Amino acid sequence: MSKRFKKSFSGIFATVILTSLVLSGCGGSNDGDAKGSSGEGQVTLSFETSLYAEAPHKKAIDALISTFNEKNPNIKITVHGTDYENFWDKLTTEVIAGTEGDIVQVYPENISTYHSLISGGAFVNLDPYIKGKDFETQLVGQDLSKVGDSYYAISNYAWGTTGIFYRKSLFEKAGIDPASVKTLEDFKNAAIKLGVDTNNDGKLDQYGFASVVGSHPFVSSEWARLVARPVSGGIFFPNGEAAPYDADHINVNSAANIWAATWWQDFIKNEKATPPGTRDKKVGREMFWNGQAAMNMDGPWFIGMTAETDAKLMDDLGLLAQPVITYEGKEYKPNPTMYPSVAMISKGSKHPEEAWKFLEFMTTPEAQKIISGSGMIPSNKEFVATEEYQKENPLAVKFFEFQDTLYAPAVMDPPIPEQGALSQIMVDAAQDIFLGKKDAKAALDVAADKMKESFNK
């Protein structure tokens, strides 16, 4: 899942000016409503989310909204989004033009970036609804939903971190015990062993790992989550992407990150380990489902996606923790990012109280049960702790076990306005290294210079 801008701000403004002329003053989906937050009349709210592009999420979100609309006939929730990769560009343009949805669902590292696009902030301060309430302790990722000391989002949908999904039948055929894949070298050796010519025609038609090598933003996130961040502490800043966030502390071209990029570059060029050619995450997932790739890096949402694609595949779906890495004689535990989906209320919404009512409903056991159908792990800790949930979602529960016993604390992207620009620079550098096959040190040195410049604009 990318959570970053695909364009620079300067490249966006020309589009924004034209868009503003057409859309300014439109006020989202609520201009036709005769009544405001008094509770009288019909209120229509728009829910903007990137997740709607994926079938399991669409099914869950449709059911969630339908249930709420039935309980609250005077409040109608509509949803709009776009494909995942283009959602973030669209949202940037909309926020600047003031035409974003009443409710906008993002990830914690996006909050500050989008909030800061408008002088005085684009979204409602949610402290009155959240501070001092059970939400602060009951919702996974709520502590990540702040700008400064105030909450601007609620973690009310679901979350996930990442692991390595594998096809049990392909591992068995290759004679690989999944329990033996514990280190980065184990992972590499298994991937190479799983790359075979099943038709005996001199051409490989099965690969070990469905890596992303192309224009998709995952081209940077996979190597970062699997290799770089565990050994370097941070792609953008050291010590777990910790402050101070300034040009003097850019970490992208550290020795550990250069080593990690070089290792990954060598790994993906192995014709047995990864498929050749340019591809995105969608293609990699399809290769996994089709049996052309034996492993795929993903989060709990992939469970729901797999069930939606072919329920029969569920019996062949296994899950490994991300591997331990040895670098310069020291072992490093994996520390993959945790991805809670959080929701904000636009300051431009004419009905913030009704919007909050929907967001609060999403935290209830009834709504969380609906959300669990997406494959991701619902945010309400009490709901997830129930015997019913754990019995019905054994693979998802494994992610809890990984976090408790095998993973170091998750490292998140820096929650700063500049993060969109930094992320795009990282994507560009990853494409140069892994697709363009440029020298890792040279490419990351260039990236470091560009990141430093972004703080001086």
Are 135 and 62 part of one and the same domain? yes
229 lies in some domain? yes
Residue 207 CA to residue 291 CA, distance in Å, equals: 9
The reply to whether 257 falls in a domain is yes
Residue 53 CB partners (closer than 8 Å, separation 6+): 81, 82, 83, 84, 87
| The two three-digit tokens of residue 349, written as one number | 């919404």
Identify the domain containing residue 50 by its residue range: 9-160+339-385
Q: Are 36 and 104 within one domain? A: yes
**Which helix or strand (DSSP H or E) is residue 359 part of?**
helix 352-361
Tally the domains of the chain.
2
Query: Who wins on pLDDT, 314 or 417?
Result: 314
| 323 assigned to some structural domain | yes
User: What average pLDDT does range 261-269 have in this prediction?
Assistant: 95
Residue 217: the pLDDT is 75
For residue 133, the model assigns a pLDDT of 97
Averaged pLDDT, 188-204: 92
The answer to whether residues 308 and 237 belong to one domain is yes
Same domain (yes/no): 253, 323: yes
Which of 18-27, 203-212, 367-376 is the least confident region? 18-27
277 burial level (CB within 10 Å; 0-12, 13-18, 19+): exposed
Of 83-97, 180-194, 324-338, the one with minimum mean pLDDT is 83-97
The answer to whether residue 401 sits within a structural domain is: no
Q: How confident is the model at residue 213 (pLDDT cuts 50, 70, 90)?
A: confident
Quick one: pLDDT band at residue 40, thresholds 50, 70, 90? low
Strands 317-320 and 163-167: antiparallel
Q: What is the pLDDT of residue 2?
A: 38
Q: Is 215 exposed, middle or buried (0-12, 13-18, 19+ CB in 10 A)?
A: middle
Query: For 297-303, what is the mean pLDDT?
Result: 91
Residue 212 has pLDDT above 90, yes or no: no
Is 209 within the bounds of a domain? Answer: yes
- pLDDT value for 8: 35
CATH number at residue 233: 3.40.190.10
CA distance 326 to 320: 18
**177 part of a folded domain:** yes
**Per-residue pLDDT band at 97 (split at 50, 70, 90):** very high
- Residue in this structure with the two tokens 């209320």, named with its chain if needed: 345
Are 277 and 179 in a shared domain?
A: yes
248, 380: one domain: no
Instruction: Please give the share of the chain, as a percent, with pLDDT higher than 90.
Output: 72
* Backbone dihedral angles phi then psi of residue 9, each to the nearest 5 degrees: -60, -40
**SS3 at position 24:** coil
- Would residue 317 count as lying in a domain? yes
Say what percent of the chain tops pLDDT 70. 90
Task: For residues 273 and 231, state if they share a domain.
Answer: yes
Count of residues making up the chain: 457
Pairing of strands 163-167, 342-345: unpaired
User: Is it the case that residue 51 has pLDDT exceeding 50?
Assistant: yes
Short-list 50, 60, 58, 56, CA closest to 82: 50
Query: Same domain for 74 and 174?
Result: no
Lowest mean pLDDT among 12-21, 83-92, 143-152, 401-410: 12-21
Higher per-residue pLDDT: 377 or 417:
377
The helix (run of H) or strand (run of E) holding residue 327 is strand 325-327
Rounded CA-CA distance 42/32 in Å is 10
Average of per-residue pLDDT across 79-88: 78
- 364 and 246 within one domain: no
Buried b (16+ CB within 10 A) or exposed e, 135-161: beeebbbbebbbbeeebbbbbbbbbbb
Give the model's confidence band at 440: pLDDT under 50 very low, under 70 low, under 90 confident, else very high: very high
Specify whether 174 is located in the same domain as 84: no
Asked whether residue 322 carries a pLDDT value surpassing 90, the answer given is yes
Confidence band, pLDDT 50/70/90 cuts, at residue 19: very low
Q: Are residues 380 and 264 in the same domain?
A: no
Helix-helix angle 301-309:55-71, to 10 degrees:
100
Across the chain, mean pLDDT equals 88
Q: pLDDT-based confidence at 12, cuts 50/70/90? A: very low
pLDDT (mean) for 103-116: 93
Residue 305 lies in a domain: yes
pTM of the model: 0.77
330 and 198 together in one domain: yes
